[in-house]
Amino acid sequence: MKLRVRERLNRLQPLGFLYSAYETQLLAELDRSALPKHVAVLADGNRRWARMNAADESLVVGYQAGADKLKEFVDWCAHLGIGVVTLWVLSTDNLTRSEADEVAPLLKVIQSMVTDLAQSYRVQVVGDLSLLPDDMAGALRDAEKAAGGHDGIHVNVAIAYGGRRELRDAVRSLLASEAAKGTSLDQLAGTLEIDHISEHLYTAGQPDPDLIIRTSGEQRLSGFLIWQSAHSEFYFCEALWPDFRKVDFIRALRAYAQRERRYGR
């Protein structure tokens, strides 16, 4: 058995060398002046990956593989100098449609991943944390505070996130803020501008995503960053998220760099 494993590894070594050489070539050809400032990713396909790769089809295996890939993805972005990354790891639909015994192990994986990221990067949790267990919401906020002193890349982790819910929360926050100033609804209706809403989004003060990547062959936004994605470029990849490689990411960046962004002009 050990001999067979050794023989298999020996056969894979040349492929690994060729892959590394190809990755190096793609990086060398990448136009660094045309990289996005903000990349967002819908890391889709973890459960399908688990059903295909885990011997007992345990979904937690897919969740953990997906979390490991997300941490690797953030490292890739940091090394390329991309300033902001947004990772969508749990939607409000996931919470309302999935069974409790399926969500619980996913929550544990997410909490551990956020804690790990907070050790090296500025982490901001975006979403409606009131939908999460109190102990997890508290742990996420603690990790967020602990990460506040880091320089460099800013990592948004979208947990219990839904685009429509974000817009609802933004409008609620805006109304409450204006009411505290004594502004009437009639006055607000006459003076409300687009930027006023933007200032109350979860990502207020950040640049909108230039590039949004979705894996597993799905070609829809599913409510992700509805407001912020108005001028984003989209890249869809067939790979399931745990199988997403650095080469796939470089190809996405290359495709982005080759596009002409018109912003409606």
Tell me: the pLDDT tens digits for 249-263?
999 999 999 987 776
Q: What per-residue confidence (pLDDT) applies to 265?
A: 63
Cα 196 to Cα 200: distance, rounded to the nearest angstrom: 7
Cα 253 to Cα 137: distance, rounded to the nearest angstrom: 34
Q: What per-residue confidence (pLDDT) applies to 15?
A: 60
Tens of pLDDT, residues 152-189: 999 999 999 999 999 999 999 999 999 999 999 999 99
Average pLDDT over residues 240-248: 96
CATH architecture of 32-162+207-257: 3-Layer(aba) Sandwich (3.40)
> From the candidates 68, 94, 169, 248, which is the catalytic residue?
94
Tell me the C-alpha to C-alpha distance, in Å, between residue 47 and each of 52, 148, 245, 255: 9, 32, 18, 28
The yes-or-no verdict on residue 54 having pLDDT over 80 is no
- Do 162 and 93 meet the contact criterion of CB atoms below 8 Å apart? yes
Tens of pLDDT, residues 1-19: 444 445 554 554 556 667 7
- Do 67 and 109 meet the contact criterion of CB atoms below 8 Å apart? yes
Cα 69 to Cα 166: distance, rounded to the nearest angstrom: 26
The two structure tokens encoding residue 61: 């295996």
Instruction: Tell me if residue 44 is catalytic.
Output: yes
Residues 6+ apart with CB under 8 A from 14: none
Q: Which of 223, 226, 243 is nearest to 90 (CA)?
A: 223
pTM of the model: 0.88
Q: What per-residue confidence (pLDDT) applies to 5?
A: 46
- The domain segmentation of the chain, as residue ranges, is 32-162+207-257
